[in-house]
Structure 1
C-alpha cells in the first residue's frame, strides 16, 4: 500500500509532517492547498480514518500509526484559531 507524507505549514511558520498509510489522503488534502485550521481538522480526520480502514481491509487490522497521526494533527491544530490558515505541501 503506497504511503504518503505531506508537509503542513502552520500559521506560526512552524512545519510538521503528516503521514498516511494510503494515498486516499490525497482525495482530501493535496499539496498546494491552503485550508483553515477547522477544514484541515475535518478533512485530515476523515482522510486518516479512511486510510486506516483501507489497511484493515487489506491486512485485517487497523493502522495504529494513522490513529496516532490523527491524534497528533488534532493536538497541533488546537494551538490555533479555527480560521487561521495552514498550507499543505509535499514532503
Structure 2
C-alpha cells in the first residue's frame, strides 16, 4: 500500500512531518495551501480515517500509525484553538 507524507506549518511557524498510510491525503490537501485550523483538522481526520480503513480492508486491521498521527495533529491543534484566525499551511505532499 503506498504511503504518503505531508509536511505542515502550524500557526506559530513550527513544522511537522505527518504520515498517511494511503495517498488519499492528496485528495484532501494541496501543497502550498493554507487551511483554517478547524478545516485542516477535519480534513486530516477524514483522510487518515479513510487511510486506516483502506489498511483494514487489505490486511484485516486498522492502521494504528494513522490513528496515532491523527491524535498528534489534534493535540497540536489544541494549542491554537483559541485563535479564530489560526491557519495551517500544507507545505508539501511527499
Which band: TM-score by shorter chain? over 0.9
Equivalence for 2:56: 56
1:9 pairs with 2:18 = no
Q: Distance in 1 between matches of 2:9 and 2:33?
A: 11
Task: Tell me what 1:87 maps to.
Answer: 89
1:9–1:15 contact (8 Å) kept in structure 2: yes
Off by >3 Å, runs of 4+ in structure 1: none
Q: Which residue number corresponds to residue 78 of structure 1?
A: 78
Deviation at 1:82, TM superposition (A): 4.3
Give the Å deviation of 1:83: 3.1
Report the count of equivalent residues.
91
Separation in 2 of the partners of 1:23 and 1:48? Answer: 10
